[in-house]
Structure 1
Amino acid sequence: MSEHKSLQALFGGTFDPIHYGHLQPAEALAKLAGLQKITLMPNNVPPHRPQPEASAAQRIKMVELAIAGNPLFNIDLREMQRDTPSYTFETLEALRAERGKQQPLAFIIGQDSLLTLHKWHRWQELLTLCHLLVCKRPGYDSKLETPELQRWLEEHQADTAEILHRQTAGRIFMADTPLVSISATEIRERRHRGDACEDLLPAAVLAYIDDQGLYRNADPRGILRR
């Protein structure tokens, strides 16, 4: 029987709205990496992108509806309680302080985020706090921007998931998750056009979107909000 603590994984995002492109790769990742729990962390003020179209309360509700009855997922609302931009480093620093030095922690990102990780706040220190679990994304480059960044990736890459459970932080696991070509932008644009979205997100989430009248109107400036 292992004396190691179970690897805990965190998955942040705007979730505007949450959809199968978030959920299906996360479920596949759980099997590949031996995860018992994935904590979804919706953020209030994302630092690198426009403000969400749905309110914080609406996005929280959509996440709750999407994961209802699924024991793999839970939700952490700490980033929703901030009025300032949510930086991953600061969130992970707080979580590391709460959970202790011996707890293996991982942060889930998409391949698109890995490619721009070097633009994140204190990105080079992230691996002192956690592992990175990277899910494939359709159409994104598999190599980083410069030879130096690529070398950094290769130096930290985990060949197997087993090491993620034995070390508390410091590794990058490139997960062979299914390529799910769905984006929240596509869902919002379909809604603006009045197109169907049933195949893109859970029925309970879509029913809530309809009930709230979300993503129905174009941006007042005459362009689609992204």
Structure 2
Amino acid sequence: MSRTNRSTPLINQAIALYGGTFDPIHYGHLRPVEALSGLIGLKEVIWLPNNIPPHRPQPEASSQQRLEMVRLALEPYSSFKVDVRELEKPTPSYTIETLRDFRKEIGDKQPLAFIIGQDSLLSISTWHQWNELLNVCHLLVCARPGYQTHFENTQMQTWLTQHQTKQQEDIHCLPSGKIFLADTPLYNISATDIRARHKAGLNCHDLLPNSVEDYIRQQQLYK
């Protein structure tokens, strides 16, 4: 496996990263990020499947199987790339460490963003060194079904208010430091439900790309 190959990006053109276990990747991942790319004008989104997630159980599919499913799902998208640095780590992948790794590669001036869901934003204070994130990147937040749009904790809500921007230009003109709440479509799809449907022998073609569904069946995953 190798890391993604890409040309040197232009300053004032944000690179966005999107991480997850992708066990399996599905339309609840793909379509909001596709909509976000159009809304913000992202030229490149780098997908980061991880090996050992720090906040959830170990994935059912192997690292190689999840990587292959991500590659299959991203084939129709010319601006979506996959990077395997987290898959190659034998230890848990912390977002801040991955972001710092990217920042070293691209320099201090290049705009860098990390895509998360509304659920992740509301629990971000549990992340490793979470208060360092905006020193390294912007946060692009996709809406999630059933989650509120504000913090109950006053201090966290103040933090959001201080850093929130409604100007997409800020994401491309500044290297880091902003939070953009994106009005992306809601897809009530979960990998847990997909795995359960496969265990029950049900078809999931409406929840993920056909290429991924076919691969799951070929590999006899989630039985």
Q: Which TM-score applies when normalising by structure 1?
A: 0.93
Counterparts in 2 of 1:67-106, with a 5 A limit? 67-106=74-113
Gap regions ≥5 residues in structure 2: 1-9
CA offset digits 1:169-214 (Å, max 9, x no partner):
0000000000011111110111111122110000000000000000
Cα distance in 1 for partners of 2:123, 2:200 equals 31
Matched, 1:133 2:140: yes
Give the letter aligned to residue 133 of structure 2.
Answer: L
Residue 160 of structure 1 deviates from its aligned partner by: 1.3
Identify the residue that residue 63 of structure 2 maps to in structure 1. 56
Residue 142 of structure 1 deviates from its aligned partner by: 1.1
Give the letter aligned to residue 113 of structure 1.
Answer: S
Matched, 1:195 2:202: yes
SS in 1 for 2:28: helix
Alignment match of 2:27 (pick from 10, 20, 26): 20
Identify the residue that residue 152 of structure 1 maps to in structure 2. 159
SS in 1 for 2:86: helix
Residue 125 of structure 1 deviates from its aligned partner by: 0.4
How many residue pairs align between the two structures?
A: 214
CA offset digits 1:157-178 (Å, max 9, x no partner):
0111111111000000000000
SS in 2 for 1:134: strand
Identify the residue that residue 187 of structure 2 maps to in structure 1. 180
Cα distance in 1 for partners of 2:99, 2:189 equals 27
Cα distance in 1 for partners of 2:150, 2:13 equals 30
The answer to whether the 8 A contact 2:86-2:93 is kept is: yes
Q: How many percent of aligned residue pairs carry the same amino acid? A: 56
Gap regions ≥5 residues in structure 1: 217-226
The answer to whether the 8 A contact 2:12-2:174 is kept is: no
Identify the residue that residue 224 of structure 1 maps to in structure 2. none
Give the letter aligned to residue 214 of structure 1.
Answer: L
Alignment match of 2:72 (pick from 65, 74, 79): 65
Identify the residue that residue 219 of structure 1 maps to in structure 2. none
Cα distance in 1 for partners of 2:29, 2:41 equals 18
Cα distance in 2 for partners of 1:159, 1:205 equals 35
Cα distance in 2 for partners of 1:188, 1:140 equals 23
Residue 30 of structure 1 deviates from its aligned partner by: 0.3
Identify the residue that residue 35 of structure 1 maps to in structure 2. 42
Q: Which TM-score applies when normalising by structure 2?
A: 0.94
The answer to whether the 8 A contact 2:151-2:157 is kept is: yes
CA offset digits 1:93-134 (Å, max 9, x no partner):
111011100100000000010011000000000000000000
Residue 62 of structure 1 deviates from its aligned partner by: 0.1
Residue 70 of structure 1 deviates from its aligned partner by: 1.5
Task: Give every structure 1 segment of 4 or more consecutive aligned residues whose post-TM-superposition deviation is greater than 6 Å.
Answer: none
